[in-house]
Structure 1
Amino acid sequence: MAEAAQPYDVIIIGGGPGGYNAAIRAGQLGLKVACVEMRETLGGTCLNVGCMPSKALLHASELFELAAKDFAGLGIEVPAPKLNLPQMMKQKGESVTALTKGIEFLFKKNKVDWLKGRGRIDGPGKVVVEGADGSRTYETRNIVIATGSEPTPLPGVAFEDGKVVDSTGALSLPAVPKHLVVVGAGIIGLELGSVWRRLGAQVTVIEFLDRITPGMDTDLATAFQRTLTKQGMTFRLGQKVTAAKTTKDGVELTVEPAAAGAAETVKGDVVLVAIGRRPYTQGLGLETVGIELDKRGFVANDHFRTGKDGIWVIGDVTHGPMLAHKAEEDAVAAIETIAGKAGHVDYNLIPSVVYTYPEVAWVGKTEDELKAAGVAYKTGKFPFTANSRAKINHETDGFAKVLADAATDRILGVHIMGPQAGELIGEACMAMAFGGASEDIARTSHPHPTRSEAVRQAAMGVEGWTMQA
């Protein structure tokens, strides 16, 4: 086995949003850096089979539905749209390729070496890369674990290509299913369910809990479920899937009440299992440096340090929200710490977004969390039905809600369901990062007519002076 002659300052295992951003930042800071990635393309799950391709399909399917249902009412008369699924998948693939090639360019620009192959730790300061042309060992002063996560399997339900699929499979179905059954009412399941419902599928969502989107503010989740139901999704809450049987015609699921009861059969053409994600640590060689996983399978950290000299961890494989932008923040903070700078991430300021129609976004504490913690707070809420831009654009589902400390008025959380909520939440993140009060948003001019005025009106509502509703 050949030895690399010159040691690196940093080797990052994993080329997803955490890994590639860590590599780029290390290069910017003048560190000798390499990134190990086992896929043929950079970008990890997010760019290749996650965030980016799903958004491509969400965008295309939204336009398809708008053309079919809304254009005539706007005075745009066109023939009924016809679905060209191969072309839709082709443009999705072209967009993904452009993005992954963009990361390759950024690697070259910032003098990052891409070590192609599967990486594993082989003791302190050593990384083995199993590539197409064999194995090679590299020496480094620091190792950053950025291997991300993978879909969590469901006991009793085996994946079968084209019939029982995970999120990756659901992004590449060859035809629109007549009936798609989604197991899990989290963000991934609802986004992909939305794609196929818009394209013509009947969609049934089965969820173990008695609500959708755990972690979302209950007020928001209730309104969100109501809207998705109005759009045509069917929800079966408080139920669990215990078995699956594939047949010539599709899949038969055995479904039982979560609180016990008689089982029944639910049939679908395709079943999407979307019950969450788990850290990816398979074959990583953690035992060679004495790192043990915690009870949930994560690599624990203290300010990105694993407790073993020179070994760091970021992104989905460690604690915190399992989101691409969280991994990016981890990456910058960890690399800057390695470089002798200060690095920190406030996970309370990591926003979450559901890219359905309408979008749902939130940051900070939910009302549920504040009540449980006994925090005194005030609420301002404003419906998009009263927002001029939303009303004129016929996109009035949803509301903006601002939660602020009852004594100090400091913003504790912001929750939005409505048009472009994912864009609007950025204002809340910035205000909270600077310790802003609801009055700071309420007394800042927002352009008219824009959807952002809904956030301002909600902030006004914290002190009871909402003006537009």
Structure 2
Amino acid sequence: MAQYDVIVIGSGPGGYVSAIRCAQLGLKTACVEGRATLGGTCLNIGCIPSKALLHATEMLHEAEANFAEMGLKGKSPSVDWKQMLAYKDKTISQNTGGIEFLFKKNKIDWLKGWGKIPEAGKVTVGDETHTAKHIIVATGSEPSSLPGVEIDEKVVVSSTGALELGKIPKKMVVIGGGVIGLELGSVYKRLGSEVTVIEFLDTITPTMDAEVSRQFQKLLAKQGLEFILGAAVQSVDATKTKAKVTYKLRKDDSEHTLDADTVLVSTGRRPYTDGLGLADLGVEISERGQIKTDDHYRTNVAGIYAIGDAIAGPMLAHKAEDEGMACAEGIAGQHPHVNYGVIPSVVYTHPEVSSVGQTEEELKKAGRKYKTGKFSFMGNARAKANFSGDGFVKLLADAETDRILGAHIIGPMAGDLIHEICVAMEFGAAAEDIARTCHAHPTYSEAVREAALACGDGPIHS
């Protein structure tokens, strides 16, 4: 029986970051992981492999659409799907291997297997039982489906199956107009698939700023994705090679069908806590299956904590990382804090979409007086040179104090540009602070400055 200060169950972004931080703070730490590799969903079957495929297909699009205009002449590249998947797998291996190296460097024990908590202070992995003063549950989430829709990961797939299809489908139906469906739908559209997105609501990405969401849909439609909104999927009938999707339009209750080679079910995710024994321990669980915690990530059972997708809040890898660090620091006697008002979100399509803080809709609902600064990437020299003029930066600031309340970007490198705003918001900056900060020319970041100028006397290049 091994004795530890902390045992972390799960090695995803929340779990491995928490384990490393615990070890850095002098706590004897172990991490339980049943997969053959570390890194959880994100590194193995989520964030990292999907970004590899997004990058590869974006390069394909550049070659097909823009190379000739830049004077790069030649035959358009053909797609070797097996090689593209091999590139994706190599990317996964490099990243998961990196986590294993970090565990060794920080003297963290990897307890290989699936963990269970028979009682507070104990974790069983296989036939072995280990003790720990503190146990952190970081077991993440799993794809959720619709009633009556069976995922076989061959014809009807979750994001997991969509990352390793045997061949590129001629027709793909994506159920759900959220981030995962749009990212992977974009991948297969660039590879030549006919992609149709069916969304229950009347808009895609419903939590996004409405103006950005509308522009986003227009740009994706321009790229060839088709959208059926306000539609409720009734069933998916699959054979070994095909599927038929039946849906009803909510506006008139009319029923329709679509044929597909592959159906991607991307209707969200749910916490994964199966097999931990939490119910027997009396750990409180919400109606949505999330582990209930206090502000210090403690459950109602002493010595047991939970972070990441397993608890309330947005299911984002970086949110889990922040919680993992904060939980570790709290256990070590420090006084950490996670600012949930400054957690960015990103959609890694082309163009990218990012946001932080509040949307216009949220500010209006709260009765908050605000001003808007907006700047189009068509006014940005670097964006025009790089065929990336679609989209804009929108900055929202308090009408009286000028303090930044939120930012929403659709355009090139939006996922990187948003962090200037995150840092500014963390320090309580005003839009004028961004406007008066020198930005290198020519860079995409100048569009952020112009949006900040638009909150005042107006942008220069518009």
TM-score by length of 2: 0.98
Which amino acid is the alignment partner of residue 180 of structure 2?
Answer: I
Are the aligned partners of 2:155 and 2:241 in contact in 1 as well (CA < 8 Å)?
no
Offset of 1:288 from its aligned partner?
A: 3.3
CA distance in 2 between counterparts of 1:407 and 1:447 reads 29
CA distance in 2 between counterparts of 1:167 and 1:82 reads 25
In structure 2, the residue matched to 1:214 is 206
Offset of 1:242 from its aligned partner?
A: 1.1
Task: Please point out which of 11, 19, 24 is paired with 1:15.
Answer: 11
- Once the two structures are superposed, what CA deviation does each residue of 1:244-303 show, in whole Å capped at 9, x if it has no partner? 111355110110023561211111110000010000011111123211310111001112
CA distance in 1 between counterparts of 2:106 and 2:172 reads 44
Which amino acid is the alignment partner of residue 90 of structure 1?
Answer: A
In structure 2, the residue matched to 1:113 is 109
In structure 2, the residue matched to 1:32 is 28
CA distance in 2 between counterparts of 1:387 and 1:345 reads 34
Offset of 1:434 from its aligned partner?
A: 0.3
Alignment of 1:307-456 (within 5 A): 307-456=300-449
Which amino acid is the alignment partner of residue 71 of structure 1?
Answer: F
Alignment of 1:21-100 (within 5 A): 21-100=17-96
Are the aligned partners of 1:35 and 1:112 in contact in 2 as well (CA < 8 Å)?
yes
CA distance in 2 between counterparts of 1:13 and 1:27 reads 15
In structure 1, the residue matched to 2:144 is 152
Are the aligned partners of 1:46 and 1:52 in contact in 2 as well (CA < 8 Å)?
yes
- Once the two structures are superposed, what CA deviation does each residue of 1:387-436 show, in whole Å capped at 9, x if it has no partner? 11101111101000000011111100010000000010110100000001
- Which segment drifts farther, 449-458 or 121-130? 121-130
- Once the two structures are superposed, what CA deviation does each residue of 1:106-141 show, in whole Å capped at 9, x if it has no partner? 0011110000000011111011112xxxx1111110
Task: Please point out which of 219, 227, 240 is paired with 2:232.
Answer: 240
Are the aligned partners of 1:403 and 1:412 in contact in 2 as well (CA < 8 Å)?
yes
CA distance in 1 between counterparts of 2:251 and 2:39 reads 41
CA distance in 2 between counterparts of 1:146 and 1:91 reads 29
CA distance in 2 between counterparts of 1:262 and 1:223 reads 28
Are the aligned partners of 1:379 and 1:402 in contact in 2 as well (CA < 8 Å)?
yes
Offset of 1:81 from its aligned partner?
A: 1.1
Alignment of 1:170-209 (within 5 A): 170-209=162-201
CA distance in 2 between counterparts of 1:21 and 1:248 reads 41
Q: Tell me, what secondary structure is at the counterpart of 2:87?
A: helix
Q: Tell me, what secondary structure is at the counterpart of 1:440?
A: helix
CA distance in 1 between counterparts of 2:35 and 2:207 reads 32
Which amino acid is the alignment partner of residue 373 of structure 1?
Answer: A
CA distance in 2 between counterparts of 1:249 and 1:296 reads 34
- Once the two structures are superposed, what CA deviation does each residue of 1:147-179 show, in whole Å capped at 9, x if it has no partner? 000001111111123210000000001111111
Offset of 1:467 from its aligned partner?
A: 1.0
Are the aligned partners of 1:380 and 1:464 in contact in 2 as well (CA < 8 Å)?
no
Aligned residues: 461
Are the aligned partners of 2:284 and 2:300 in contact in 1 as well (CA < 8 Å)?
no
Are the aligned partners of 1:321 and 1:347 in contact in 2 as well (CA < 8 Å)?
no
Gaps of 5+ in 2: none
CA distance in 2 between counterparts of 1:287 and 1:358 reads 44
Q: Tell me, what secondary structure is at the counterpart of 2:119?
A: coil
Which amino acid is the alignment partner of residue 230 of structure 1?
Answer: K
Which amino acid is the alignment partner of residue 8 of structure 2?
Answer: I
Q: Tell me, what secondary structure is at the counterpart of 1:122?
A: strand
Offset of 1:63 from its aligned partner?
A: 0.5
Task: Please point out which of 86, 94, 100 is paired with 1:104.
Answer: 100
- Once the two structures are superposed, what CA deviation does each residue of 1:187-231 show, in whole Å capped at 9, x if it has no partner? 000000000000100100000000001211001000000000000
CA distance in 1 between counterparts of 2:373 and 2:153 reads 47
Which amino acid is the alignment partner of residue 32 of structure 1?
Answer: K
Q: Relative to 1, partners in 2 of residues 1:11 and 1:409: Cα closer, same or farther, differing over 3 Å? A: same
CA distance in 2 between counterparts of 1:98 and 1:161 reads 25
Which amino acid is the alignment partner of residue 322 of structure 2?
Answer: E
What is the RMSD computed on CA atoms of the aligned residues? 0.9
- Once the two structures are superposed, what CA deviation does each residue of 1:33-71 show, in whole Å capped at 9, x if it has no partner? 000001000000000000000000000011011111211
Are the aligned partners of 1:208 and 1:237 in contact in 2 as well (CA < 8 Å)?
yes
CA distance in 2 between counterparts of 1:168 and 1:464 reads 49
Are the aligned partners of 1:121 and 1:288 in contact in 2 as well (CA < 8 Å)?
no
CA distance in 1 between counterparts of 2:92 and 2:442 reads 34
CA distance in 1 between counterparts of 2:437 and 2:240 reads 61
- Which segment drifts farther, 165-174 or 259-268? 259-268
Provide the identity percentage. Answer: 56
CA distance in 1 between counterparts of 2:124 and 2:69 reads 61
Q: Tell me, what secondary structure is at the counterpart of 1:426?
A: helix
Residue 137 of structure 2 corresponds to residue 141 of structure 1: no
Are the aligned partners of 2:155 and 2:240 in contact in 1 as well (CA < 8 Å)?
no
CA distance in 2 between counterparts of 1:214 and 1:128 reads 41
Are the aligned partners of 2:153 and 2:160 in contact in 1 as well (CA < 8 Å)?
no
In structure 2, the residue matched to 1:297 is 289
TM-score by length of 1: 0.97
